[in-house]
Structure 1
């Protein structure tokens, strides 16, 4: 792959332009530089656009901006050259040295003489700049420019080319003034007029513009509802998609607004919320799979819908409560009733149809022709699994809000266990578990048979889902419970890894079916005879242990009643089973032991096992952990203010004081870590805030160690390792912790400044290319200036930072100043609000594939599975799946669309079954790879932070060309922060698969 060209190689900076710009003031550089020429070819302009991403030269950026604006205004050039020049202006406006107002005015001036394609590009560029920088709201644009832009937009709205109408229509709401609550009346009227345009793209753009304003907090008028309903019947798929979103938006803003329905001179009124629900239910029968999926998804957003409409979604026949009566006398003379003149009461007005005889003389009509009739039935029976998934998700959301709807949805969701798609079956199981957690599901015989059939699935995840569903269910009779116990026995014999999930189900079944577990059932379950002495069961029999768990999780009254049936050996086994399966037996199980077995009762009442005593021990651990955390905060506060003592830097006192502070922090952190898990079980939110502080304390400990080794250049490798830990730890806290205040973020940025200074101090810059040294110092100076602006914004006076800034000379920093900053550095206090922070995490579900060695053809890529639950992740586009290869390299992959599904706000479910892994191995070379989940955090200073995190030492032969090449890589701009405590490894055995030779081949 060829290297990307730099700006100097692309021809942006000519020698005369560079000399001219070097002798002028920086603030007036764009005005006093020499004349420039426009780009004359597409390749020249595009090469500049590519090379611009790899430079930070202000002179080059200014000259490139002038040439791009001049090219956009030159009408004699081809349209393609002008378009790429306009895109170049948009890229340049992101640079701080470019005057955005001047660039916008230049683009607006180029509108009048440009052709249609260039005007479209200008409108799109202005829209992009407004989304990124809010130019029409925050940048003071001259009034003349606004007038010219408004006139051009209004003129292009009537242009014959639809692309130009779309571009001008999209930017119109951005240019016109608007308040926080409503769109300007003239803008709304103009945009609504184009919702009925002849071209579908224009109609889509108009509806998208209105939807975008709604998403920004603008209130939509209720009168627009009728136009959106008409748009749902549009021939263009994208128009229907946006119309469905707008219908939901308007209905959520005006749920109680009355909608009048007139038919056969009879009118009725329903709520706008109910009417919108019916309209979107009608979209479930759309011809487009994308529209059907979106409609099914939006149905779950509706709240407080009338129960009669919710019930109608599970029936294809329109119910009587959705019919209205109308007398027929006004339409046909001589009408005397439905059965007048009919023998036996049989009507004469029937017409045979495929669905049955239709009564055309009936006095009732349907209030809504199709509406919500069988909407979810159609969604669950759709041929595409995406639609079925969306229907199940919406059923789950509506079931949580309505108990009656949940009871009707169970039968349909259980039927989905027979679906051909694994993903749909898992989605149906999760929906039923969510419904059962609110109210236990009562299973019929047919539903139990379907669940038992699904229990035979080969997928471990599927079986665990069925177990979770049975744990929130109740059975109708004892025969069903016996049938379920027989199925559990077969599953345990076939899948030994399902032992603990089945035991948890048996624990729940025992609590939910105390009345069914009577003497007859227990005798049949344990094989106890009424006439003969029973043979003692083996204590290590897993089937017998499951039966005991089921029996002793019933109510205390039922256990006391069964004492006359159970043999003594069952009670003798209880202490062993309770200690082995600690979470499967209740804490008061000792109360059900007969008095004659006093020794067994004493064994079950041991203090270290009883849950009440365990709870007290957790509270004691919480008190100890709180005291330990207070010690960490106290030690951290002393470290952050210790450098105020001028005697600290005198003689050998500095090393001893730093070493003492480091040892104190480490001792408190170690004591807190021993009790951290107990705090996590008691209060998760407090645990997250404390965990962030403890993590910062570890970073401070590393900083104190780095200060101790700062003068010893023989410990260069140790310094680089500590620097890497400090830099990565600061990014990890910022990426994983949600809810940090501005002061805490300032402390992390200041920490990265120290790490950067240590990294420079560990390198002898005199040995490297002077141009490379200049670039390294330039990046460091930018970081200093950024830290100064942040500190000034928070009104923080940092003496060490002020002293370091005094050693800055243009784009370099004196080595003496960097060394003094490292030695005298004092970290800022990090104290986020307790209970406010949440920490991002991921829990990987180890599938059955990950539990054995995988054999694959070494000549082809390998696809692995990654199933994980993500918690407190704000942006899904930052999630990465990392694979650690045997070559000590880490490869990152972004999960494709559809593999990351939202469960609740900031909680996601990752289900990716095809993570690509390429291993250059030969046949028989067994190895292993490790999969993990990470968040992508943008680095404050690209290239330098990536080098520091990787603990790299810059080679002496490193040149400026290598610097540019490294900057071109996307991996140098981000830091990947793992959110999994420990990834899971997969053993791989590459083999060569050869086709079996046939008899004809052997012959």
Structure 2
């Protein structure tokens, strides 16, 4: 039944209607239980010339490869039996009309409409993943589709071949076509090719040599592909360690007894070679004795700078299994160290009952928490597998530290005495805003937190709002007449109501410290009653003890910026002031739940900020929990006398519980008022260093800051491009 349905659908690939052909070509990939012989007939293609059978180019190259011939070079002589005369065929034995499944995919791949060709490529990939014999036969056809005139079809063919390339081997003539795609101008095509090469099975040393040289040429022509090429070479070293061992002297340009010039470790091409060689050396014990002495010094540096690309190498240990064990040992050491950090933080936690003795002083606990935060950040930088959990735990402990410091300052009334390292009013309000932002980071950027932890984070944000109210009261703000103070109380009431609904919707019990607040109307409450009702919330421990088991499923949103890169002091981009400057931005997004919320922030030296929202077409998916951002930031500025640094980072626009638009102003005369944060101008540039988004959103950075130098000038000289050329 399945074979009959498959044959009938194959007949529809030759239908006169394009939508019917596209639908039929797409349906072919759903038949996973077809007879293998019937499936292979879809790739059957007969060529005739003067009533004689002619072999296709695929068949000739396959026979040449099976006979030991290469894709290029001199032939060793005439193949046995090549001069045998071809007999005329009987025209009755050959049918030129397609019957059933014969040639269905051939017709689909040669169709004039891209919808049909793209659907045929996708179906071939689906069927090839379930049948090894069919995958080996469809490689020739997928490689031919690399020359298609439509980029989407070429990209689909590359991704399809990547999914089946792990089970087949590419011939030399096929590798030539594959490597030729690295000359593409499309960054998306080149990145897909890097992913394909990282999974390919290369069978010969010349093939690997050609692949490495083509990747180095790609890096020289397109420097923005650096990260993608590095990952590709890492996989090539892992999968072809025995072939890399034959190329070590050539790649490193080493001599048996002469010492050459030591390469620059900052050279991206040299780093590519080291990534390939060192990943192969971790699996091949014959490579380390071939390495020059300077490679081991560079290995130490790269191991610290690029831990996700450089493996651990047990130098001098001949056992291959011991070298592999080093990778697991490093991860085990990092995991054990993170467990110790959790134990240190837990050991200083104050008792649940005030009558019980405290294990240490509050100052010592704050010092321990600060050390734990720095240790967790370091673990996240060194181990990719623990990065999300370590960074989430560091943010969690930092919230604890800030909340306890502000609570101590408010309870001891130290705000007006900012001496001996104590919190002053300006610092205290800044810490409250930072605590609010950190709570949003925990709630929105950390995916996989339990419902109880998310509820505690919301309570911490409510406590930060309460701290802001108490701070305004302690600074003698006119609480009865200030409209902004009334807005602060209204926002506290709104946040409290939202918190109550959140706990009720999740079937969670409202904590005892929050239950009494639910019966109070904070909009009309008197100031004395306000302070009295908020004191228990400030003094209570807001966070439960954090265990490593709570963070097993946590994935934290982050981004890596590939372009632009940090400028040196002497590099700067010039443009005519008041004209547009375009800055290309390329980044990889990890664990971003809603890529449409991604934004790019540009901060000028005077504190003004610009926010740019990429178009949906600028973000494309690379796989599970991974996306690529490829956009441009267009900005302008007035005349400058000297070049200055502009900070660029990628972040997310997240919704806030209530509009965060109020702050406490400070004057030298100790006169404190509550004012509104200035709103942004129509062009998106705020007049202060505060967040210039609308009050219902805030910007959370998920990448490191990249500093670039720009120089708006009065007139353009002939030595640079007015639209951003160097």
Alignment of 1:893-912 (within 5 A): 893-912=612-631
Alignment of 1:933-944 (within 5 A): 933-941=650-658, 943-944=659-660
SS in 1 for 2:553: coil
Tell which deviates more after alignment, 534-543 or 495-504: 495-504
Q: Which residue of 2 aligns with 1:628?
A: 341
Deviation at 1:516, TM superposition (A): 10
Q: Which residue of 2 aligns with 1:27?
A: none
C-alpha contact 2:146 2:154 (8 A) present in aligned 1: yes
2:561 counterpart of 1:844: yes
Question: Aligned equivalents of 2:25 and 2:439: distance in 1?
Answer: 39
Q: Which residue of 1 aligns with 2:260?
A: 538
2:402 counterpart of 1:702: yes
Deviation at 1:536, TM superposition (A): 2.2
Alignment of 1:319-330 (within 5 A): none
Q: Which residue of 2 aligns with 1:721?
A: 430
Q: Which residue of 2 aligns with 1:826?
A: 541
Deviation at 1:835, TM superposition (A): 1.8
Question: Aligned equivalents of 1:908 and 1:523: distance in 2?
Answer: 38
C-alpha contact 1:278 1:372 (8 A) present in aligned 2: no
Question: Are the structure 2 counterparts of residues 484 and 844 from structure 1 closer, same or farther at C-alpha, using a change threshold of 3 Å?
Answer: closer
C-alpha contact 1:842 1:933 (8 A) present in aligned 2: yes
C-alpha contact 2:603 2:610 (8 A) present in aligned 1: yes
Q: Which residue of 2 aligns with 1:374?
A: 107
Q: Which residue of 1 aligns with 2:175?
A: 448
C-alpha contact 1:935 1:979 (8 A) present in aligned 2: yes
Q: Which residue of 2 aligns with 1:270?
A: 5
2:708 counterpart of 1:975: no
Q: Which residue of 1 aligns with 2:442?
A: 733
1:919 pairs, out of 613, 636, 642, with 636
Q: Which residue of 1 aligns with 2:493?
A: 781
Question: Are the structure 2 counterparts of residues 512 and 694 from structure 1 closer, same or farther at C-alpha, using a change threshold of 3 Å?
Answer: closer
Cα RMSD for the two superposed structures:
5.7
* Greater RCO structure (CA 8 Å; 6+ sep): 2
Deviation at 1:738, TM superposition (A): 1.5
1:746 pairs, out of 441, 455, 461, with 455
Q: Which residue of 1 aligns with 2:723?
A: none
1:985 pairs, out of 707, 710, 724, with 707
User: How many pairs were matched up?
Assistant: 631
2:167 counterpart of 1:439: yes
2:502 counterpart of 1:796: no
Q: Which residue of 2 aligns with 1:816?
A: 531
Residue by residue over 1:301-337, the C-alpha shift from the partner in whole angstroms, topping out at 9 and shown as x without a partner, is: 847364678767767889xxxxxxxxxxxxxxxxxxx
Question: Are the structure 2 counterparts of residues 303 and 879 from structure 1 closer, same or farther at C-alpha, using a change threshold of 3 Å?
Answer: farther
C-alpha contact 1:777 1:813 (8 A) present in aligned 2: no
Question: Aligned equivalents of 1:345 and 1:894: distance in 2?
Answer: 67
Deviation at 1:725, TM superposition (A): 1.3
Deviation at 1:629, TM superposition (A): 1.4
C-alpha contact 1:552 1:589 (8 A) present in aligned 2: no
Question: Aligned equivalents of 1:776 and 1:724: distance in 2?
Answer: 13
SS in 2 for 1:800: coil
2:303 counterpart of 1:580: no
C-alpha contact 2:376 2:391 (8 A) present in aligned 1: no
Alignment of 1:441-840 (within 5 A): 441-445=169-173, 447-455=174-182, 469-475=196-202, 480=207, 501=229, 505=233, 508=236, 512=240, 514=242, 536=258, 538=260, 540=262, 571=289, 574-581=292-299, 587=313, 590=316, 612=325, 615-616=328-329, 618-635=331-348, 638-639=349-350, 642=352, 644-645=353-354, 658-677=362-381, 680-681=383-384, 683-684=385-386, 688-689=388-389, 691-710=391-410, 711-714=413-416, 715-763=424-472, 764-766=476-478, 769-791=481-503, 794=507, 796=509, 798-805=511-518, 808=521, 811-812=524-525, 814=527, 815-817=530-532, 820-821=535-536, 823-829=538-544, 831=546, 833-840=550-557
Question: Aligned equivalents of 2:283 and 2:717: distance in 1?
Answer: 66
Question: Are the structure 2 counterparts of residues 938 and 277 from structure 1 closer, same or farther at C-alpha, using a change threshold of 3 Å?
Answer: farther
SS in 1 for 2:513: helix
Question: Are the structure 2 counterparts of residues 865 and 830 from structure 1 closer, same or farther at C-alpha, using a change threshold of 3 Å?
Answer: farther
Question: Are the structure 2 counterparts of residues 610 and 719 from structure 1 closer, same or farther at C-alpha, using a change threshold of 3 Å?
Answer: same
C-alpha contact 1:879 1:936 (8 A) present in aligned 2: yes
TM-score, structure 1 as length reference: 0.51
Question: Are the structure 2 counterparts of residues 535 and 496 from structure 1 closer, same or farther at C-alpha, using a change threshold of 3 Å?
Answer: farther
C-alpha contact 1:735 1:977 (8 A) present in aligned 2: no
Question: Aligned equivalents of 2:674 and 2:253: distance in 1?
Answer: 81
Question: Aligned equivalents of 1:406 and 1:860: distance in 2?
Answer: 54
SS in 2 for 1:702: helix
Question: Are the structure 2 counterparts of residues 536 and 866 from structure 1 closer, same or farther at C-alpha, using a change threshold of 3 Å?
Answer: same
Question: Aligned equivalents of 2:693 and 2:226: distance in 1?
Answer: 46
Question: Aligned equivalents of 2:372 and 2:566: distance in 1?
Answer: 41
Question: Aligned equivalents of 2:291 and 2:248: distance in 1?
Answer: 16
SS in 2 for 1:449: helix
Question: Aligned equivalents of 1:931 and 1:388: distance in 2?
Answer: 41
Question: Are the structure 2 counterparts of residues 416 and 660 from structure 1 closer, same or farther at C-alpha, using a change threshold of 3 Å?
Answer: same
Question: Are the structure 2 counterparts of residues 938 and 317 from structure 1 closer, same or farther at C-alpha, using a change threshold of 3 Å?
Answer: farther
Question: Aligned equivalents of 1:557 and 1:671: distance in 2?
Answer: 31
Question: Aligned equivalents of 1:344 and 1:419: distance in 2?
Answer: 34
SS in 2 for 1:877: helix
TM-score, structure 2 as length reference: 0.68
Residue by residue over 1:202-247, the C-alpha shift from the partner in whole angstroms, topping out at 9 and shown as x without a partner, is: xxxxxxxxxxxxxxxxxxxxxxxxxxxxxxxxxxxxxxxxxxxxxx
Deviation at 1:522, TM superposition (A): 9.3
Residue by residue over 1:127-152, the C-alpha shift from the partner in whole angstroms, topping out at 9 and shown as x without a partner, is: xxxxxxxxxxxxxxxxxxxxxxxxxx
C-alpha contact 1:417 1:428 (8 A) present in aligned 2: yes
2:646 counterpart of 1:929: yes
Residue by residue over 1:90-136, the C-alpha shift from the partner in whole angstroms, topping out at 9 and shown as x without a partner, is: xxxxxxxxxxxxxxxxxxxxxxxxxxxxxxxxxxxxxxxxxxxxxxx
SS in 2 for 1:833: helix
Alignment of 1:178-257 (within 5 A): none
Residue by residue over 1:49-107, the C-alpha shift from the partner in whole angstroms, topping out at 9 and shown as x without a partner, is: xxxxxxxxxxxxxxxxxxxxxxxxxxxxxxxxxxxxxxxxxxxxxxxxxxxxxxxxxxx
C-alpha contact 1:625 1:672 (8 A) present in aligned 2: yes
C-alpha contact 1:284 1:296 (8 A) present in aligned 2: no
Question: Aligned equivalents of 2:154 and 2:396: distance in 1?
Answer: 44
Deviation at 1:374, TM superposition (A): 3.5
Question: Are the structure 2 counterparts of residues 425 and 344 from structure 1 closer, same or farther at C-alpha, using a change threshold of 3 Å?
Answer: closer
Deviation at 1:877, TM superposition (A): 2.8
Question: Aligned equivalents of 1:933 and 1:548: distance in 2?
Answer: 30
C-alpha contact 1:937 1:977 (8 A) present in aligned 2: yes
Deviation at 1:890, TM superposition (A): 3.2
Residue by residue over 1:705-755, the C-alpha shift from the partner in whole angstroms, topping out at 9 and shown as x without a partner, is: 101221234222122111111111111011111222221121011111111
Question: Aligned equivalents of 2:252 and 2:372: distance in 1?
Answer: 54
Question: Aligned equivalents of 1:632 and 1:888: distance in 2?
Answer: 36
Deviation at 1:840, TM superposition (A): 1.9
Question: Are the structure 2 counterparts of residues 536 and 708 from structure 1 closer, same or farther at C-alpha, using a change threshold of 3 Å?
Answer: same
C-alpha contact 2:435 2:464 (8 A) present in aligned 1: yes
Q: Which residue of 2 aligns with 1:53?
A: none
Question: Are the structure 2 counterparts of residues 869 and 719 from structure 1 closer, same or farther at C-alpha, using a change threshold of 3 Å?
Answer: same
C-alpha contact 1:659 1:704 (8 A) present in aligned 2: no
C-alpha contact 1:740 1:837 (8 A) present in aligned 2: yes
C-alpha contact 1:769 1:960 (8 A) present in aligned 2: no
